[in-house]
Amino acid sequence: MAKSNTLTKKDLIDVTAAILAGGLGTRLHSIFPGRPKVLAKVQGRPFLAYLLDQLVDAGLTYVVLCTGYLGEQVKAEFGDSYNTLYLSYSQEYSPMGTGGALRLALPLFKSDSILVMNGDSFFDADLRTFWAWHCARGAEASLLLTRVRDTRQYGRVHVDYDGRVINFNEKGDYEGSGWISVGIYLSEQRLISTIPEKRSVSLEKEMFPAWIGRGLYGYQINGRFLDIGTPEAYAAAEQFFTRETAG
């Protein structure tokens, strides 16, 4: 079915969101042992709550939480609803990677287009604008990209003049400024269904490179980005969200 270029808030209301919340968080165990990193407290609130707030603000109503390590704690914390969101859970019982976790959750998705978010990072962006850009290009999948001063710890994403992804560089390949993925994606279910089942799969290392030439785009926008994957980055989270509130 062709997508309309005339988009309203209601269009995004019908989109299922999936949050990849199953990471082991091994680098943060020294700070909060025995807790999944999406429950790491920032200003007294679980980090995951900030992602859910962003979805509420964008007008979404249904979220699948892809949990893994200590996932029962996530469900105990948030239950079946959060503000205006209905929450469902897809629990992996062995590490499946970002791609494997998304593939496992496929039967729970209620829309053709899925908004996917990494559970350990936050990017301050207008998700409705991202959705409109994705639909206007008839993309099969779109990555939200931002420019950073040093891409070594993230890897780079290269796009052409129209936003089509043409290449990826691994972490550490190049120093200096460039465009990186912020861990927010839009993908059609038919692409997600191409992820191999019943094994660990990385979206970033396996699937995204495989989707080049199959309608994979990158939406470039400057914005504030936070990844809490290391103790140093987590320590910056308090100030990050203080600035967000003040702004």
Identify the residue whose tokens are 């931002």.
Answer: 146
The answer to whether 98 and 78 have CB atoms below 8 angstroms apart is no
pLDDT 10s digits, 113-158:
999 999 999 999 999 999 999 999 999 999 999 999 988 888 899 9
* 217-229 tens-digit pLDDT: 999 999 999 988 7
Identify the structural domains of the chain with CATH numbers, from first to last.
12-246 (3.90.550.10)
**Predicted pLDDT at 27:** 57
Answer yes or no: is pLDDT of 215 > 70.
yes
Residue range 32-83, pLDDT digits in tens: 667 888 998 999 999 999 999 999 999 999 999 999 988 999 999 999 999 9
Contact (Cβ atoms closer than 8 angstroms) between residue 125 and residue 100? no
User: Which residues, including other chains, have CB under 8 Å from residue 191's CB and lie 6 or more apart?
Assistant: 140, 141, 211, 214, 215
